[in-house]
Structure 1
Amino acid sequence: MTHSILRRFTTRMYYKFRYNNPIAEYIKSATEKHVIAKWKAKVETAAISIDSCEETIKNIVDNKKSISRFGDGELRLLRPGEQLYFQDRDELMVSKLREALNSNLPNLIIGLNEGIIQENGLLKQKVKNWWIVYLKDHGLQLIDLLPKNRRYGNANITRFYIDYTDSQYSLRISEMLKNIWNRKDILIVEGEFSRLGVGNDLFENARSLHRILCPVKNAFSRYDEILEACKEYGKEKLLILALGPTATVLAYDLAKEHYWALDMGHVDVEYMWMKMRATGRVSLRGKAVAESKDRDSADYSLSKSDQQEYNSSIVKRIL
């Protein structure tokens, strides 16, 4: 009986002080500051840093670097038993992700989400809070996974809008990205309904554009075919990859053979969200948006002109 009364009292006090209460907010703030301070000390000890998006893009342009991006999804797959909505767990893929993360190729940037180091003041507070919880729960595992004494690129070069507070910053990053493929022959390697550049002007300054279509889900199951197709059709071209964690591994394997390959998942979606001034992760007609709430009932139809242009750009289907 006493235990039951105490439990009810504790529950009432929890809900009484949970919302809009200065004491609760103070405790929450103090906890967050403690988590951040503790994490930053570990990062400093490990000598880990992450370049800005501007620095990362400049490195890609000036030095013709490839990039493999490790967002929260890729890092999640490196934990035992985890999988993603669009990619079942595959131990070979996990092994390849570890290999890429620990690689040290001179022509490859390994990108991490800058939310990890909590230094960009333009990130929305809810995004910072998400990473605080992530670091509280998984920080020790993460610090063990990451190679030490290393300067990483910024994985957010393709995540430049929805997580940020400054639209001018987002516009500036998008214009810098366009400079990467300015007057270049590009080969897009993407999921069947990703349709990068369709219905927008993201790649209009490219000299030519062709694409290889791959499975929407579990693309890694066709990895060998995709890799060979990239080598066949990607000679002397800039490869733009949008295939989730498969793209992370693919950029690494292609860089080893001196192809110029960029893991650029989400870039088209973020660009369109920016253009329409979206306030959330909304669906886009004609495209697969994995993060939208109605992703399972998406409308993949295109206008007649977009469909014709899209079809004419496809050089291979691996479905």
Structure 2
Amino acid sequence: MSDSNTTDITNPSTFILRSIPGLEAAHVWISIPFCTIYAIAILGNFTILFIIKMEQSLRAPMYYFLCMLAVTDLILSTATLPKMLSIFWFNSREINFSACLTQMYFIHCFTMMDSGILVAMALDRYMAICDPLRHSTILTNSVVAKIGLAVVLRCGISALPYPFLVRRWPYCRTNLIPHSFCEHMAVVSLACGDTHLSGYYGLFVLFSVIGLDVLFITVSYIKILRAIFSLPTKDAWLKTFGTCSSHLCCILSFYLPEFFSSLTHRFGHKVPLHVLVLIANVYLLAPPLLHPIIYGVRTKQIRDRLLKHFTRKGTYFFYPGTQALCRDGW
């Protein structure tokens, strides 16, 4: 198939990913940061999983949620980056129709799952700071497992209509997708007829899933900040707020690129296509890259365990009055 393939296609057997339109000549150079991002994401998330599995002292709700986040990020990055790299290195731009729908499902499902796990982490932070005496009795292992199962079911069911809606449309324009992965609206834009249902469903998911997640996190942190500012000293404010810093950084690394990408796609009509595609890639690849770095650097327990395993020196520093916060680990 060639780039000029614009003949009638009722049910295409394959799509052709254009990767980053207009920057084809720079694919080899673009592949360097993309490959680096993938390597860091894989290494970082597997390291987080390894450290938590090996250390019995890290068997707490926050670390279980962190494991869920690491697994989600591993699947999300693996669903997209290998195909991108094959395009950059081998010009392997064809993707089977069913494989395209599968990739689309995984992207939407695990992106929403990232959001759901961040909500679960916000709940953990709220309980740890606003109701610490009942934290361990409410967030038991069985409750954490049920929360994880609820997140998986919600995201799996919410993402299911995406490939089914795409499959039902006839395609009679072209099979060239102006994107580096099977993004939902990029594929729908190739279909004939009235495809407003796909757009409406995308907006429904955006507001009912991501929007509600943002609302819940916002309410949780309003209550957390009220509890922090009720503490007697500024030093206590900073120490308690420091337990939320890793989670806040992860929230910003996830929602800010998504918000910026949504704004540019809806209102940036004069923005070049390759810029829009690059922004979409940043939104998709930033969380798997940044989450393990944030928790590896900012969480004392994980940082100390890394030093213990890789330098064989298990030195831990606990300062008077901070043992509870350090044990809480954020």
TM > 0.5 fold call: no
The structure in which a higher percent of residues are strand is 1
Structure 1 or 2: larger helix share? 2
Q: TM-score, normalised by structure 2?
A: 0.28
